[in-house]
């Protein structure tokens, strides 16, 4: 195992916790069972930093099993902002290991995960290892939608890396610092979008840990920081700012389109369904969403071409500021009804073999493990 740090830390894991009711004890226990030694006398060890964000340290520390407490670095961080961006940035700034990794305090790792991840990253000579994810109940989270049998030297466009929004796995700390990456604190949600996009399109060597122990997402915590409903403008500010940035303008056409196709497919359509399903969609949301769509497509005019017939119908309704919530809900659900032939083919048949075209995308997604 390579260790380029000035101390004995191989992997720094940063966990952000926002309230004392989070199940931090489960997260820490899974890290202690991740296959790396944690004692200060151990070489090539794991260091866990729990950043107590806008909350006191002692109630968080008290939740952790007594045998684990002295193996964890608890840090208080207050910025008054309801976003995980600040504590993640702070935790990363304290890191000194070869690798850095971030986790939510609701989540956990499968046994032996970190040791296996480091082994795979070293074997591939990777700068970043994207790890497989699953819901704690067992269902796989099929992102990113990498090509069949690809696991190393991934291409951010062909392997659809944009669909992995959160940079979960291992990141070489020297790369994060050389790129000047941080999580913007100004967004109500989507603070990880620019960080991950810059990472995937940095030219770094990126691997996918196919078949490795997984990062498990738990849904039993009371409230996630990112789950609060907000306006269209607030919720999608991360997307409009990203595509209007100098960094985005410096990308190639295919790279810009890959990012915007994902932003439309996942975030724009997702927020339409969220509001239409809740019955809150109306003229104000319709006008705001139309402006977002216009901004995205101005930045990458070809991004809509590989989308399905059903996707394009919904995008047309967004563009014309359709304000009927029942109609928008029906159209948003129709694009996710994969027994419907309108979801199988792109409206533009010249895009049939595009990596983002429905049949290629869906077949590749089914093979993600």
pLDDT tens per residue across span 173-221:
999 999 999 999 999 889 999 999 999 999 999 999 999 999 999 986 4
* Tens of pLDDT, residues 323-356: 999 999 999 999 999 889 999 999 999 999 999 9
Above 80 in pLDDT, residue 105? yes
Place of tokens 């082994």: 119
* Residue extents of the structural domains in the chain: 9-223, 229-366
Domain 9-223, CATH among 3.30.505.50, 3.40.190.10, 3.40.640.10, 3.90.550.10: 3.90.550.10
What local confidence, expressed as pLDDT, does residue 220 receive? 65
What local confidence, expressed as pLDDT, does residue 86 receive? 97
* Tens of pLDDT, residues 60-96: 999 999 999 999 999 999 999 989 999 999 999 999 9
- Which of 237, 325, 339, 340 has its CA nearest to residue 285? 325
Q: What is the C-alpha to C-alpha distance for residues 6 and 11, in angstroms, rounded to an integer?
A: 13
Q: What is the C-alpha to C-alpha distance for residues 309 and 290, in angstroms, rounded to an integer?
A: 19
What local confidence, expressed as pLDDT, does residue 2 receive? 44
Q: What is the C-alpha to C-alpha distance for residues 276 and 265, in angstroms, rounded to an integer?
A: 16
What is the percent of the chain where pLDDT is above 70?
Answer: 94
What pTM value is reported for the model?
Answer: 0.93
Pairing of strands 140-141, 133-135: antiparallel
In our burial notation (b when 16+ CB lie closer than 10 A, e otherwise), range 55-80 reads bebeebeebbeeeeeebbebbebeee
Above 60 in pLDDT, residue 3? no
């Amino acid at each position: 195992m390579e260790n380029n740090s000035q101390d004995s830390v191989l992997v720094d894991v940063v966990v952000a916790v926002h309230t004392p009711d989070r199940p931090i004890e489960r997260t820490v226990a899974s890290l202690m069972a991740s296959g790396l030694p944690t004692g200060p006398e151990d070489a090539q060890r794991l260091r866990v930093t729990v950043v107590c964000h806008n909350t006191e340290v002692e109630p968080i520390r008290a939740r952790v099993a007594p045998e684990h407490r002295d193996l964890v670095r608890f840090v208080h961080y207050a910025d008054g902002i309801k976003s995980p961006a600040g504590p993640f940035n702070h935790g990363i700034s304290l890191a000194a290991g070869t690798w850095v990794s971030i986790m939510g305090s609701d989540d956990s790792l499968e046994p032996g995960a970190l040791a296996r991840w480091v082994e795979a990253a070293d074997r591939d000579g990777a700068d970043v290892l994207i790890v497989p994810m699953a819901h704690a109940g067992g269902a796989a989270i099929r992102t990113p939608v990498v090509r069949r049998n690809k696991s190393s030297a991934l291409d951010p466009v062909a392997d659809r890396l944009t669909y992995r929004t959160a940079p979960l796995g291992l990141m070489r700390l020297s790369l994060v610092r050389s790129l000047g990456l941080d999580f913007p604190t100004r967004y109500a949600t989507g603070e990880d979008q620019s960080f991950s996009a810059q990472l995937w399109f940095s030219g770094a060597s990126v691997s996918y840990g196919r078949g490795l122990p997984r990062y498990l997402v738990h849904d039993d915590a009371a409230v996630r920081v990112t789950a609060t409903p907000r306006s269209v403008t607030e919720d999608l500010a991360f997307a409009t700012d990203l595509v209007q940035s100098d960094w985005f303008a410096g990308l190639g056409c295919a790279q810009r389109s890959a990012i915007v196709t994902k932003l439309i497919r996942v975030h724009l359509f997702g927020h339409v369904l969220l509001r239409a399903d809740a019955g809150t969609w109306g003229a104000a949301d319709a006008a705001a969403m139309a402006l977002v769509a216009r901004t995205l497509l101005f930045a990458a005019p070809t991004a809509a071409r590989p989308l399905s017939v059903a996707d394009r119908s919904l995008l047309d309704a967004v563009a014309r500021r359709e304000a009927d919530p029942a109609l928008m809900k029906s159209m948003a659900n129709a694009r996710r009804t994969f027994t419907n032939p309108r979801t199988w083919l792109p409206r533009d048949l010249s895009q049939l073999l595009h990596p983002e075209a429905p049949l290629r995308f869906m077949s590749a997604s089914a093979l993600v493990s």
